[in-house]
Amino acid sequence: MKGATCTSPVKLEGKTVIITGGNCGIGFETARNLLLRGARVILACRDLNKATSAAEQLSELGSGVVLVEKLDLSSFDSIRTFCKNIKQHITSLDILINNAGVYFHPYAETEDGLEMHMGVNYFGPFLLTHLLLELLKKSDSPRVVFVGSGIYKYGKIDFDNMNKPEFFHQHGAYCDIHTTFS
């Protein structure tokens, strides 16, 4: 993958990190870097087959520990189940990286009735973060990271019509979601 490279020498032994969408792209490269620093990384992914394959590749690095858990950000039930399972396996969380998302997706609604971009990229990570706050507060220096994009500059959110198919545009929906983080 091309782009910026983290040059920090910080080691992460003993730190637990959850990264959503860590099975490919920026998420995979982030997971790789965290593992090389000695972190315990939990890949929270919708597709367990892809996540398991990514975990196998990452395990070959010989550094850190990588685990896989199912998480579908388009489902509040999946998010709640994920958090319940995580709380049974870890006692604190040092870093949460909200990386997963959808972009230029045709109009569809989540099972909770939200437009897909807004549900997966905004409300899903919000709920996930909220439900994991208890674990984050147990860390000495917790971090929550939201991976975003400069595309927010082009967003113009119409809050009155954001969940109506007749006002939907794939590119606009993606820009709008990043505007919510700016």
Contacts of 57 (CB under 8 A, 6+ apart): none
Catalytic residue status for 152: no
Q: What are phi and psi of 44, to 5 degrees?
A: -100, 105
Nearest by Cα to 95 from 35, 22, 5, 15: 15
- DSSP code for 105: P
Neighbouring residues of 91: CB distance < 8 A, sequence distance ≥ 6 = 135, 138
Within 8 A by CB and 6+ apart from 159, the residues are: none
Chain centroid to Cα 163, Å, comes to 22
Residues annotated as catalytic are 174
